[in-house]
Structure 1
Amino acid sequence: MTEPRSDSGVPAFWRALGLPGIIDVHVHFMPQRLMSAVWEYFDGAGPLIGTDWPIRYRDSEEERLAFLRGLGVRAFTSLLYPHRPGMAESLNEWAAGFAARVPECVQTATFFPEPGVEDYVVRALDAGARVFKVHLQVGGFDPRAKELDPVWGTLADAGVPALVHAGSGPVANGYTGPGPFGEVLARHPRLTTIVAHLGAPEFDGFFALADRYDRVHLDTTMTFTSFGELGAFPPALLPMLRDLGLAGRILLGTDFPNIPYQYAHQLEALAALDLGDDWLRSVCWHGPAAFFGLS
């Protein structure tokens, strides 16, 4: 498989695999005021970033949508998340509106440990949310918080996944790592999960959770790229990465638009692993299509 070395080469990449496009499970769209604040935080290399992290695709919402469509990204999420109480429900309302006007969007929602969280999560589910973004690093909260236990149970019962940034990259806090979220899974083993960034940098711990719980998936976001701030993937895990990918449990994610390199570089890095065209087909299309029930 020829690795796409620039964004212009992305359509040729998926066509050579015989795919109708690609599906990206880790894309950020959010209200522009919040997106601008996120970009400013990255510009300042804030405490949760800890390194120089320039945003490559600092474009308008319409330009970013046109870019993804031009690459052949047929479906994507609109991941957004609160960093304090009182934000989540309004973000969910915005995300529902965004998905209603963007047919390629997999409707996203989020939550925070706060009074009323179970009620607004149910409202988001009723409004069509298909994946919930949970950012333990930015939110700085314990996934084992008592307010969240019924929420995890509700999502497990509904079969609606949580895409969780639970790894300690790029900067750890007391609630990241496989331990705290592993306790959530022990209590709710039927919870469908996507672990962001393959769990970087605690790859071993999160892959062990995927081995233990068959509803745990992982996304590729920023892993194997030249941007090494999330940690190096252990070579000993490559056979398991291949097996999980072929089983539809490794899903393409990129972190677009908040990346410091071309979109194509994520695909280039995955192709360079030399895990086979069937693996790439599963990661870039068949796995996420089956996961979200997309045709």
Structure 2
Amino acid sequence: MNETFTDEELPAVLDELGVPGIFDVHVHFMAPEILAKVWAYFDSVGPLIGRPWPITYRGSDEERVERLRRMRVRWFSALSYAHKPGIAPFMNDWSRGFAARTPDSLWSATFYPEPEAAVYVPMLIADGVEVFKAHLQVGNFAADDLFLDPVWAAIEDAGTPVVLHAGSGPAPGDHTGPASVESVLKRFPGLRLIIAHLGTPEVEEFLDLADRFEELRLDLTMAFTGWFGEALPDRLPSRLRDLQSRLLFGSDFPNIPYAYAHQVGSLVRLDPGEEWLRDVLWSNGAALFGKQ
């Protein structure tokens, strides 16, 4: 299979693989004022980036949704991540509205280690939220913060997936890395955590956790694109084949410095086999979230 193709050619690639589309668990749609600040950070070469990072997909929410649909991204998340106390409810209210008007988007929400999270997270679960996002690096908190104990308990009981940025890429934070994640999983082993960006650069350590905790998953957002984190270990492809059923496709759309198709092509270039690609691009996400 040709590993070089454009966004416009992506549907033909999916046809060749025999999948109905892409299930992308790592897409960002945020309240306009929040997204403007995120883009301003990237445009200013913020300290966690350290190099120019041109955002490929700007425009309105409607334009970006239509772009995903043209590439045949059948399902996608709409992740926001709370970076300080008190802001999660505002973000969650906006995300609720976005999900209501965007039927192919997973209803997404966020939380922060604060007393109120023990109230608003169970309420969101009861209302039917489909995925959470938390960012240890940007939020500057540990996964095992005591305020999160009732949050993890509620999420584990519900089986709601959580996309968790816990790796130390693109720059280490005070609480990044696998230690606090392992601490949480020892107490809540049924959590359906999805480690973002393959846990880069602590990839091997997070894969080791996946060997021990059967509900732990990883997304491949920006992995193998040459833009995120350190060089990946030579033996990584064989480990990724072993964990085929627990790897999920992610893109970080729209905040990526290259075409969407480049992420897909970077996985094709690994030559993992068509069954692996079908599972990662579609089947694993569809099964986890119960979508068709």
Which TM bucket (shorter chain)? over 0.9
Counterpart of 1:12 in structure 2 is 12
Q: 1:266 — aligned with what?
A: 263
CA distance in 2 between counterparts of 1:21 and 1:226 reads 24
Q: Distance in 1 between matches of 2:52 and 2:185?
A: 34
Q: CA deviation at 1:190?
A: 0.8
Alignment map for 1:103-182 (pairs within 5 Å): 103-182=103-182
Aligned residue identity for 2:103: P
After TM superposition, the score normalised by the length of structure 2 is 0.98
2:8 aligned counterpart, secondary structure: helix
User: What is the DSSP-based 3-state SS (H/G/I as helix, E as strand, rest coil) of the residue aligned with 2:185?
Assistant: helix
Report what 1:66 is aligned to.
66
2:272 corresponds in structure 1 to 275
Give the conservation status (yes or no) of the 8 Å contact 1:4–1:13: no
> Residues 108 and 132 of structure 1 are in contact (CA less than 8 Å); yes or no, is this contact kept in structure 2?
yes
Hey, what's the Cα distance between the residues in 1 that align with 2:122 and 2:50? Answer: 35
Instruction: Look up the SS of the partner of 1:279 in the other structure.
Output: helix
1:160 partner amino acid:
T
Task: Tell me the distance in 1 between the aligned counterparts of 2:92 and 2:168.
Answer: 25
Superposed CA deviations along residues 59-104 of structure 1, whole A, max 9, x for unmatched, are: 1111101100000000000010111111001111111111111010
Gaps in structure 1 of 5+ consecutive residues: none
Q: Aligned-pair distance for 1:226?
A: 2.7
Tell me which amino acid in the other structure corresponds to 2:267.
Answer: L
Distance 1:242 1:101 in 2: 37
CA distance in 1, matches of 2:214, 2:226: 30
Matches of 1:150 and 1:86 in 2, distance apart?
17
Instruction: Give the share of equivalent positions with the same residue, in percent.
Output: 51
Contact 1:136 1:175 in 2 (8 A): yes
Question: What is the CA distance between 1:2 and its match in structure 2?
Answer: 2.4
Residue 231 of structure 1 is matched in structure 2 by 230
CA–CA separation in structure 1 for the residues paired with 2:3 and 2:278: 14
For 2:230, give the aligned amino acid.
G
Deviation at 1:109, TM superposition (A): 0.7
Task: Output the CA distance in 1 between the equivalents of 2:159 and 2:229.
Answer: 29
Distance 2:232 2:129 in 1: 32
Aligned mates of 2:42, 2:286 — CA distance in 1: 31
The CA deviation string for residues 187-240 of structure 1, in whole angstroms up to 9 with x for no partner, is 11111110000000100110001001000010010000032x312221212111
Using the TM superposition, give the Cα deviation of residue 127 of structure 1 relative to its aligned residue in structure 2, in angstroms.
Answer: 2.2
Q: Specify every segment of 5 or more residues in structure 2 that has no aligned partner in the other structure, as ranges.
A: none
Cα deviation, residue 4, structure 1 = 4.3
Q: How many residues align?
A: 292
Counterpart of 1:53, as a letter, is W
The letter of the residue matching 1:57 is Y
Counterpart of 1:289 (choices 280, 286, 291) is: 286
Structure-2 residue corresponding to 1:185: 185
User: d(CA) in 2 for partners of 1:147 and 1:263?
Assistant: 37
TM-score of the pair, normalised by structure 1: 0.97
- Alpha-carbon distance in 1 for matches of 2:286, 2:59: 27
Deviations 1:149-174 (A, max 9, x none): 11111111111111100000001112
Structure 1 residue 58 displacement after superposition: 1.4
In 1: Cα distance, 2:123 partner to 2:250 partner: 27
**Which range moved further: 251-260 or 172-181?**
172-181
Q: Quote the RMSD (CA, aligned, Å).
A: 1.0
CA contact (8 A) 1:21 1:285 kept: yes
8 Å CA contact 1:168–1:201 kept in 2: the answer is: yes
Instruction: Give the letter for the 1:175 counterpart.
Output: H
**Paired residue for 2:247?**
250
- 1: CA distance between counterparts of 2:164 and 2:129? 15
The CA distance in 1 between the partners of 2:70 and 2:120, in whole Å, is 35
The aligned amino acid for 2:243 is: L
Question: Cα distance, 1:243 vs. partner?
Answer: 1.9
1:86 matches 2:81: no
SS in 1 for 2:146: coil
One-letter amino acid of the structure 2 residue matched with residue 256 of structure 1: F
Instruction: Name the counterpart of 2:198.
Output: 198
Amino acid at match of 2:169: G
CA–CA distance in structure 1, aligned partners of residues 9 and 35 of structure 2: 28
